[in-house]
């Protein structure tokens, strides 16, 4: 019975979202998953979303609002693609480089935060501006074009995206649930003062969190670049928008996390978002409607979370 | 002792007076009769700082014009709305700019009114005013004018691009209409031009409209172009906006890979919108500008048609602005400001694109050199108009 409740709680939101999307699309006379392209669109969106959600959640759960994750994805993919194009290396090398530079940029961001001791929101805004400007200068503002490079663009297949999703999930579960670093991270979440007094090094933990978030965003930057065929520049906080991709799946994941592992919750939240993205594509929903729908979904979910107790009481009576 | 102090103070005062006089002469710079001896500060309002086109324009002003004329350009940040434009103008005024060249169009009337009231020359680059706006502002003393593709030229650019592929027998199209959904007229007119060409070739109408009437049809649909049949021609997929999210890229991928689409037409940014997803064998046409990347894409066969603004096309509007600052505004016989249209350089093969790009990207011998622009300082309206009208690559190279 307990397991049944857990399973129901875990799957409720994704199942409802999938069912609603299938219902809406069939009411419009459209098959949601009609071709390989639809599946690719769905899996790619899931990969993008889950990576950003993991990256955002790492620091946000610890109360560190990190606005720089989008700029890390931008700069790491710019550097890795420039090296790859120059050396003629393949997509795997570009992925490894992108993750490496993502970790490095995350490390710099984390070190800056623990050194200057300013609120993370301010530090991350400064870092975002710096990384955006650096990427702009590196490319002369023109960005990077990968269009026509069949080998690199060829990465965008369903098995590759699934492999990235699975790797990220396994990595997150192992690092945050089965290592000393992960236990310390959780201890710091539940009470920083007590944890530090027991000997946990909160500075080291925070820096490592930035490194991991950076690496995940490096992978996300790579997926974006190889899918889009180009990396367009962003200035004046233009890279921040990628964060908004992760808010709803993070809230959904947090809810699902009550019933199962929270990382699996984030993944299920990302899958729910991905199917919503797919229905936007299949029904060719205009961007203005998309924004309205996404905002309504998020606000409704937050209203539900805030009034959950009251709702339960109402239904009990 | 007291008198020594007084003498010392007097000496210091005199030294200060002489120093200040010398400084003021220095900043005035040489003969006061020749205006070209004084550095003219020009503010540039921009709403886009990252597109290839914006970068090319900036390079022409900063790397070429600034090196050959005694001018200094001061660029605004990326301006997103009318209030940001007003703040940027205030900033230019505070920095002693004598003129403003505007690439930003959130609220052009407000820009013109502000510059007129502040006594600063104002010109519109790469665009034009509407007929109503021109009628209102053409007599303003500080309104220099507008030089750039007018809406008829934008319509024609779209028409020519679609016709290029229709003439080759293609009948199934996918479209990217960019900022049409944000009511950007330039993109709406280009899209309307494409549809008008399809109406002619397919012997049909776009939802009952043809020719310029299609503009109204698109406006009435919230800037959206709807897929459908136009006689024997088919528009089988349309994407708009610049969302850069998973759904947006998904829509672009779906249109690019639709087996019922032979040709992808973009009102702009086609190299970002479609080039990465386009399967081999499909055609891609774009209205943008010439860059190393676009030439590379044409060489690979990814991009098959490009109508591009050339970076030096903003040379004449600079010359008109400088002429006004020098006290020789270019006006027609009725004293009205400039309103001139320019067109695009069109390449349908890599050789032409390469040739255009080589000239366009040159910082020593661009399409419009100082010698050519000098002929416009103090020129008559007719001579100016004649110069601007000869915009094709071949005419300029002559």
pLDDT tens readout for residues B192-239:
999 999 999 999 999 999 999 999 999 999 999 999 999 999 999 999
For residue A300, with 0-12 CB atoms within 10 Å meaning exposed, 13-18 middle and 19 or more buried, which class applies? exposed
More confident residue, A261 or B14: A261
Q: Do B49 and A228 touch (CB under 8 A)?
A: no
What is the tens place of the pLDDT at every residue in B5-33?
555 555 555 555 544 444 444 444 444 56
Give contacts of A44 with chain B, Cβ < 8 Å: 246, 250
In this prediction, residue A150 carries a pLDDT of 85
Residue that the structure tokens 């820009």 belong to: B111
pTM: 0.83
pLDDT band at A140 (very low <50, low <70, confident <90, very high): confident
Q: Report residue A174 CA to chain centroid gap.
A: 18
**Can you give the pLDDT at residue B23?**
45
Which pLDDT tens digit goes with each residue over B37-55? 789 999 999 988 888 888 8
Residue B32: what pLDDT?
53
Element spanning B102, H or E: strand B99-102
Look up residue A159 and give its two tokens: 């098995």
pLDDT for the residue numbered B22? 47
**pLDDT attached to residue A171:** 97
Asked if A71 has any chain B CB less than 8 Å from its own CB, the reply is no
pLDDT at position A315 over 80:
no
Tell whether A243 lies on the interface with B, counting CB pairs under 8 A.
no
**Predicted pLDDT at A244:** 86
Query: From the CA atom positions of chain B, what is the Rg in Å?
Result: 25
Residues B316, B376 contacting (CB under 8 angstroms): yes
DSSP per position, B207-228: TTB-TTHHHHHHHHTTT----E
Q: Tell me how far apart the alpha carbons of residues B52 and B288 are, in angstroms, rounded to a whole number.
A: 8
- With CB atoms and an 8 Å threshold, state whether B244 touches A241: yes
The bridge status of strand B345-347 relative to strand B263-266 is: unpaired
- A133 Cβ under 8 Å from any chain B Cβ: no
Residue B351 confidence (pLDDT) = 95
Asked if B238 and B147 count as a contact pair (C-beta separation under 8 A), the reply is no
Phi and psi at residue B330, to the nearest 5°:
-90, 115
Q: Test B50 with A284 for CB contact under 8 angstroms.
A: no
Integer angstrom CA distances of residue B1 from B5, B8, B14, B19, B375:
6, 11, 20, 27, 66
Which residues in chain B have their CB less than 8 angstroms from residue A235's CB?
49-50, 78
Confidence at residue B116, expressed as pLDDT on a 0 to 100 scale: 95
Q: Which one is predicted more confidently, B49 or A184?
A: A184
Task: Say how far apart CA B113 and CA B119 lie, in whole Å.
Answer: 10
Q: What is the pLDDT of residue B62?
A: 94
Whether residue B241 and residue A287 make contact (CB cut-off 8 A), yes or no, is: yes
Average pLDDT, chain A: 93
CA dihedral defined by B50, A93, A175, A159, rounded to 10 degrees? 90
- Close Cβ partners of A162 (under 8 Å, ≥ 6 residues apart): A43, A47
Q: Is A185 on the interface with B (CB under 8 A)?
A: no
B249 and A228 in contact by Cβ < 8 A? yes
Closest to A142 (Cβ–Cβ): which among B276, B278, B293? Answer: B293
Percent of chain B scored above 70 by pLDDT?
92
pLDDT tens track for B66-96: 999 999 999 998 888 899 999 999 999 999 9
- The residues, any chain, with a CB within 8 Å of residue A217's CB and separated by 6 or more, are A51, A52, A55, A69, A70, A72, A73, A76, A102, A106
**B180 contacts B191 by C-beta, under 8 angstroms:** yes
Q: What does the pLDDT look like over A68-122, one tens digit per residue?
A: 999 999 999 999 999 999 999 999 999 999 999 999 999 999 999 999 999 999 9
pLDDT of residue A82: 96
Phi, psi of B290, deg, nearest 5: -90, 120
Amino acid B142: pLDDT: 96
């Amino acid at each position: 019975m307990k397991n049944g409740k857990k399973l129901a709680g875990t799957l409720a939101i994704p199942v409802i979202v999938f069912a609603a999307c299938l219902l809406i699309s069939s009411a419009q006379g459209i098959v949601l998953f009609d071709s390989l392209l639809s599946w690719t669109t769905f899996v790619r969106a899931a990969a993008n979303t889950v990576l950003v959600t993991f990256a955002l959640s790492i620091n946000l759960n610890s109360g560190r609002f990190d606005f720089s994750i989008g700029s890390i994805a931008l700069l790491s993919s710019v550097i890795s693609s420039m090296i790859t194009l120059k050396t003629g290396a393949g997509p795997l090398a570009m992925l490894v480089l992108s993750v490496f530079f993502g970790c490095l940029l995350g490390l710099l961001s984390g070190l800056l935060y623990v050194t200057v001791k300013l609120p993370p929101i301010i530090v991350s805004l400064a870092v975002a501006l710096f990384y955006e400007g650096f990427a702009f200068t590196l490319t002369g503002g023109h960005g990077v074009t990968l269009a026509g490079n069949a080998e690199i663009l060829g990465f965008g297949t369903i098995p590759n995206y699934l492999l990235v999703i699975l790797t990220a999930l396994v990595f997150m579960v192992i690092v945050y649930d089965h290592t000393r670093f992960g236990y310390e991270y959780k201890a710091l979440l539940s009470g920083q003062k007590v944890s530090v007094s027991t000997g946990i090094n909160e500075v080291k933990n925070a820096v490592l969190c930035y490194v991991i978030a950076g690496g995940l965003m490096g992978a996300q930057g790579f997926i974006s670049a190889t899918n889009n065929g180009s990396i367009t520049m962003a200035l004046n906080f233009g890279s921040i928008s990628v964060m908004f991709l992760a808010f709803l799946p993070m809230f959904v994941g947090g809810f699902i996390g009550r019933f199962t592992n929270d990382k699996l919750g984030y993944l299920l939240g990302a899958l729910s978002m991905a199917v919503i993205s797919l229905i936007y594509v299949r029904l060719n929903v205009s961007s203005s409607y998309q924004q309205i729908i996404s905002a309504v979904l998020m606000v409704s979910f937050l209203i539900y979370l805030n009034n959950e107790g009251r709702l339960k009481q109402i239904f009990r009576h | 002792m007291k008198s020594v102090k007084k003498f010392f103070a007097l000496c210091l005062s005199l030294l200060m007076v002489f120093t200040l006089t010398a400084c003021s002469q220095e900043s005035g710079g040489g003969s006061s009769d020749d205006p070209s001896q004084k550095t003219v500060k020009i503010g540039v309002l921009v709403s886009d700082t990252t597109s290839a086109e914006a970068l090319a324009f900036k390079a022409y002003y900063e790397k070429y014009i600034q090196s050959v004329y005694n001018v200094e350009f001061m660029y605004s940040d990326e301006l997103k709305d009318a209030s940001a434009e007003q703040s940027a103008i205030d900033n230019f005024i505070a920095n002693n700019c004598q003129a403003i060249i505007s690439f930003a169009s959130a609220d052009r009337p407000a820009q013109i009114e502000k510059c007129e009231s502040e006594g600063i020359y104002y010109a519109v680059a790469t665009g034009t005013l509407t007929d109503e706006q021109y009628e209102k502002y053409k007599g303003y003393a500080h309104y220099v004018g507008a030089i750039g593709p007018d809406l008829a030229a934008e319509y024609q650019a779209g028409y020519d691009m679609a016709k290029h592929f229709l003439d080759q027998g293609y009948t199934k199209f996918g479209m990217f209409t960019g900022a049409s959904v944000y009511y950007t007229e330039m993109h709406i007119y280009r899209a309307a031009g494409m549809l008008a060409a399809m109406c002619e070739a397919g012997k049909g109408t776009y939802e009952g409209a043809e020719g310029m009437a299609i503009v109204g049809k698109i406006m009435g649909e919230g800037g959206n172009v709807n897929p459908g049949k136009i006689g024997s021609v088919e528009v089988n997929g349309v994407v708009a906006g610049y969302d850069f999210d998973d759904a947006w890229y998904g829509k672009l991928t779906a249109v690019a890979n639709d087996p019922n689409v032979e040709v992808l037409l973009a009102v702009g940014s086609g190299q970002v919108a479609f080039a990465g997803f386009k399967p081999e064998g499909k055609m891609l046409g774009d209205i943008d500008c010439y860059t190393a990347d676009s030439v590379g894409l044409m060489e690979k066969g990814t991009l098959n048609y490009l109508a591009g603004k050339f970076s030096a096309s903003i040379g004449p509007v600079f010359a008109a602005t400088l002429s006004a600052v020098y006290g020789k505004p270019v006006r027609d016989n009725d004293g009205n400001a400039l309103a001139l249209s320019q067109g695009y350089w069109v390449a349908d093969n890599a050789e032409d694109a390469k040739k255009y790009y080589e000239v366009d990207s040159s910082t020593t011998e661009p399409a419009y050199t100082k010698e050519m622009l000098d002929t416009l300082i103090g020129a008559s309206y007719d001579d100016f108009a004649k110069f601007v009208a000869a915009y094709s690559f071949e005419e300029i190279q002559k």
